[in-house]
Structure formats: structure tokens, C-alpha cells
Structure 1
């Protein structure tokens, strides 16, 4: 999956560099509207007349690194144990003794390195934060970003340089996001970056659609009303004041294939495991909490007619929850069955 910019050591996008020509060419200007059809891509946590709160770019694909890292770490640990056992206990002919010195010297560092690699993948998602929210206030025109280390970036909306961001990953190829740069006083040097919007899978045009959703909220006089009408029949992420539950972990893991049920069944193994990894990641991570000064600067009017949170969602139906749940059980069961069959074959 595409985890650009995420690392348990808080590695970020490249900064302290000049803007590129490509970034300048694909800039989204704050006052410029889009003719694309607006789409929110399941990115909204809460909405009101004061602010809109969004999920981070890694939230939609959360869970993949957790299960993949666990498999790599478990397999590598097992191989490491076999290598150690063979060195001390496996019988060998005198002319084969050299092999038992080569195994720990050559293979053990490799397998232990893979154990560390698996743990690194697990730690990108587990034992951290459930998500990294962004809060965009249309009244104060301030953007608050919850960083990976738990600190908060606050920057004026009008000062952001917003452009089409790209990333490449072995499994996904080129992906796109709505990248926001905080520039130095010279207006050319990137000091910090974050993603306002992301979808997987998606094309460059997907960010045009997300900009057509987000820009009116911050710029149009009736932006709160327009955004409310767009979202009132949609789905908001169940993260406001709570952790994501196991049902939503399943629904969200399969959501991007919602229009293709046959794909959910065909890829039930990796995405069923992603759902389980997502549950574990959510259970072991902390809920982000905005500092008191940020909450004080983002007050909601009790009589605000344009408030929406996850409690306003409709119920998850057959295709949103129950069918993905069946695919999850089938996928996890298939994976476990294959592993058991492999061990039985090795025993024979």
C-alpha cells in the first residue's frame, strides 16, 4: 500500500527544499473553484458552521501494514529458530559441517533483519494514534493539523500552497493526494507538508473532485450549507469522541471496492486480513486529543443547523457491512487453512 510520509520515527515528506515546477503547474488556488463533481471520499469526521474535521491520508488503508508486518515477523522468527536449532542439534556428516557454520553466519542476520522489518511495519500503525485529524475553520481561516508526534501545526488557510501530490509504491504504483505546503517567508521554500485529501484507488482527477468538495466550504458564503447538503446522506467517519469499532474496521477495509462485490470476494484474503489488522491497530493506538487552546478556538454554536457527526449516519446495510464481514471470515479462514496445510505437509 501507499504509506508515503508515514513512519514510526516521524519521517515526513521532503522539506527544506524549493517548490518544483510540477508543483507550481498543478497548484490549487484558494479562490479558484472547480467544475469537477464534488466528492468527499469518506474523509469527513465532523462538520459544522465553524469547522470541518478530516482524516489523514493513511486512515483509509490502515491495517495493511499491521497484518503484513506480523506475517513477515512471524515467518522470519520461525526461520531464525530453525537455523539456530539446526546449528546446535541437527546431525551432520563430517564433510557437511561447513554448512552449519554458513547458516548462522549468512542466513541468521538476514532473518533477524526481516524480523526487525516486520516489526517496523507493525509500528507504523500500531501503538500510535488511531488517526491524525485535520481541522479547517472557515470562520478563523485557520488549519490545525495533528502531527505524527502528537504536536499540532496551526497555519492560516490562505498561506497554504496547495497542489497535486504524487507518490509511488510497489503495490499501488502512482497515487495522488491533495498536498498542502507551508512555505518559508520567501514564498519558495517548503518547510512542512501534509495531505488534505487522499483516495485509494484514484486518479489525478480524483483530487479535482475532492477540491470541488473542500474549497467551497472554506471560500463560499454558503459553504457550510452546501457541504451539509452534500454530506447529510453520506457517511461520516466514526471517530468523533471515540475509537473506530470493529464493524467499521471491516466496512472501511472493503469500502473502496463497494461497487464491485465480486472484487471483494476475489480479494477477500488480503482485505480480510487488513480488516483484522485494522482492528488491532485501532485497539492498540491512542485517540488524538486536540489541545485546550485549539478547542477554545473552535467553538460550535449549540443551535448550529449544519452539524453532522457519525451519529447522524444511516445504518450499515448488507453491502456495507454484512457482505464484507462474510468476505473477511472467508479470507481469514482461507489464510489460516493454507498455513495449517503447509505445517501439516512439512510434518509429513
Structure 2
């Protein structure tokens, strides 16, 4: 669930931002038909829950480690190849000379491409490692605000009632995943512009799961905490501590085909988490999100220290 806020260029409003389909618009005042009131959301995404706010994690939290594994392996392979080439002690590497001769001027181009791949891998790695363990989002039902933790450690706020929500899809190769996009809007009517986008809830290949996630959050904000609290299965124990290896491995989305990859990725996930900081909300956010004394709906499993 990546809050992954990105400042984007302003563009004119014409029905839906970013050319998303109208049928995927999500309206905060309309109950979603077909909502499963027994939905247990087996992939936990709630960090804290109470009468004042619900805090959720970013869309990429569950898959954290998979990207790190790929980037670390890419960086390692490039470094090993560079060492072997510079050493000149491996006869097998001389076969690459034929490739270089075939490409001709690639004697210059190839190192540039390798350096570019290396720099891109470093850049992407720093998105998951040496950053923050997760990017939390708070939805405050009392003051109707959304607090978004940005990658640079600052906090962005927007009004729940002014934001524009829709289901967007992300495609890679033949695969597709869905997530809730929240567009931060300015202006009125036809002159409305989107100044930024973040993802709310978690991503899934099943669009019905994403719809259920939206309706769960919408009902909390519009109808109160009673039903969402009853449906809440567990909270992620990450508010004040690092997850354990076992917890991280359990979070990774896997099936019987991807278990070996996820096993390796679980160690990369530990690397990503332990090199990152746990986000701490600034005092002004905590003051605006004070939890009522003796609140019967408090759930904050991440607040026990281990």
C-alpha cells in the first residue's frame, strides 16, 4: 500500500484526473454495493485504530523486500563483473570482446549503459532501504483530515471531503493490480486541478478486495468506528518497533510457486527495514489526533515494545 506521494504537474479537470474511467470513481457519500460485511482482509494494513483516527500503511509495504532483492542482486552482479574485467584473470571474459567488436563503438556505450543500470538500481534501492520502514497514512474522522507521510519525512495534509478518489490499475507485462488513488484537488468546477496523488489502502490483483478496502475506510470516516472495529482482525505491530523476520516473511504475498523467491526476499526485507527509520508523527499531528480517554475502540498492537 504505497502512500508514495508524488508532486505532479497541474492539469485541467475534465471528469476524472489522469484519464481514469468514470465507473471507477469512488464517492465518499455513497455506500458501495456488494460490500462483504464479514470481510476479514487477511492481508493486514491497519496500524492503529480508535474513535479519532485510523492509521494504515502504504500499498507497497506487503511486498517490501522483493524489489530490494532484485536491486541488490543487480548491483552485486555489476560489481563482480567489473572486478573480473579489471582483474583480467578470467579467460572466459575474453569472449565478451567479440561482442564489443560486433557492436563497434559500444566500447564506449556499454560502460555507459552498465553505469546507468547501476545508478538506477541504487536509486530504486534507496526507495526501499535507508529510508522509512513504511509510509503511514492517517484518516482522522473527527476533523475530516488525511495525513500523508512523504518519503522525505514531511507530512502532507488534505481534507477528506475535498479529495477525489478512484480505483486505478497498474500493469506490468500481462499482470495487473488495482489500488485506490487519491487526487489532491484545488479550484472548483471545470477549473479543478490535481496537485498530487497518493495511494490509499492496499494493492491487490482482485478489484473486489480493493473495493472492500475502500468501503471499509469510507464507513469508518462516514459511519463511525463501530462496524470497522468489529471487522478488524489484527493491527500491524510496526508503529514503534521493527517487525521480526517471521513477521516480514508472513507479510510477503506468495503462492506455492513463489515461496523460494519470497524466502530470499524476506532477508532483503530485513535489510530494507533495519536500514530504515520508523516514522514518528510530529507533535502537531499528534495534537490534532488526540485519542479520547477510555476509548472503547482503541487498537494499537504496534505499541507494545519487544
TM-score of the pair, normalised by structure 1: 0.74
How much is the aligned-residue C-alpha RMSD, in angstroms? 3.0
- 2:249 pairs with 1:243: no
C-alpha contact 1:178 1:207 (8 A) present in aligned 2: yes
1:62 deviates by 0.7
CA separation of 1:214/1:137 partners in 2, compared to 1, >3 Å: closer, same or farther?
Answer: same
- The correspondence for 1:47, drawn from 35, 44, 49, is 49
- Matched residues in 1 for 2:49 and 2:292: separation? 12
Q: Secondary structure at the match of 1:195?
A: strand
Map 1:57-96; keep pairs closer than 5 Å: 57-86=59-88
Q: Secondary structure at the match of 2:299?
A: coil
- Matched residues in 2 for 1:31 and 1:91: separation? 64
The unaligned stretches of length 5 or more in structure 2 are none
The unaligned stretches of length 5 or more in structure 1 are 258-262, 314-348
- Matched residues in 2 for 1:142 and 1:196: separation? 14
- The correspondence for 2:146, drawn from 134, 137, 143, is 143
- Matched residues in 1 for 2:133 and 2:258: separation? 25
- Matched residues in 1 for 2:169 and 2:258: separation? 26
- Matched residues in 2 for 1:22 and 1:107: separation? 39
- Matched residues in 2 for 1:134 and 1:215: separation? 14
Please name the residue that 1:118 is paired with.
121
- Write 1 or 2 for the structure with the bigger share of helix: 1
If asked which structure has higher relative contact order (CA below 8 Å, sep 6+), I would say: 2
| Partner deviation per Cα, 1:226-267 (whole Å, 9 max, x = no partner) | 111101xx12111122222222111111xx44xxxxx33x32
TM-score of the pair, normalised by structure 2: 0.84
- Matched residues in 2 for 1:242 and 1:91: separation? 47
C-alpha contact 1:80 1:108 (8 A) present in aligned 2: no
Work out the number of aligned pairs and report it: 289
- Matched residues in 1 for 2:60 and 2:137: separation? 13
1:301 deviates by 1.7
1:182 deviates by 0.8
